[in-house]
Amino acid sequence: MCGSDRPRTIGPMSSAPPKTLLIVDDSRVSRMMIRTLVAARKPHWTLQECETGDEALARLAQGVPDYVSMDINMPGTIGTDVAERILQAYPQVRMVVFSANVQAAHQARAAAMGACFVPKPVSDRSVQLALNFFDGAA
């Protein structure tokens, strides 16, 4: 796992453009929980959702997000393959692999591609881990 689960204190908001988070998960409940918890902490962010990795790859044609939360087990292309493709094409994207598959192989693959593995279930703590990674606290 990466980062701390403690909220970070950040100085005054800069004039930087708002960030975009793409939430990719076939579970409507997981997407809703991630969206709700992130929106409460980062109300200025743009939050987008996709149900599959293939849908996420197609959405990149509309613009590249700053951050991606990627589930592993979804219909179509497996999430770690999609994450790897996104990071190869857009290395500036900060990627969290958010999954209930906590096997060491999944965690090692996430780390090898420069992503942060965050275990499900989705909770305040797990979302804070992801946000800290996005904010560069990993």
pLDDT in tens, 9-63: 444 445 567 899 999 999 999 999 999 999 999 999 999 999 999 999 999 989 9
Query: Structural domains in the chain?
Result: 20-134 (3.40.50.2300)
Count of Cβ atoms closer than 10 Å to residue 5 Cβ: 16
Residue owning tokens 């997000």: 65
Confidence at 3, pLDDT banded by 50, 70, 90: low
Assigned token pair, 25? 């998960």
Would the pTM of this model clear 0.85, i.e. be above it? yes
What burial class does residue 101 get, using C-beta atoms within 10 Å of its C-beta: 0-12 exposed, 13-18 middle, 19+ buried? middle
Average pLDDT score over the chain: 89
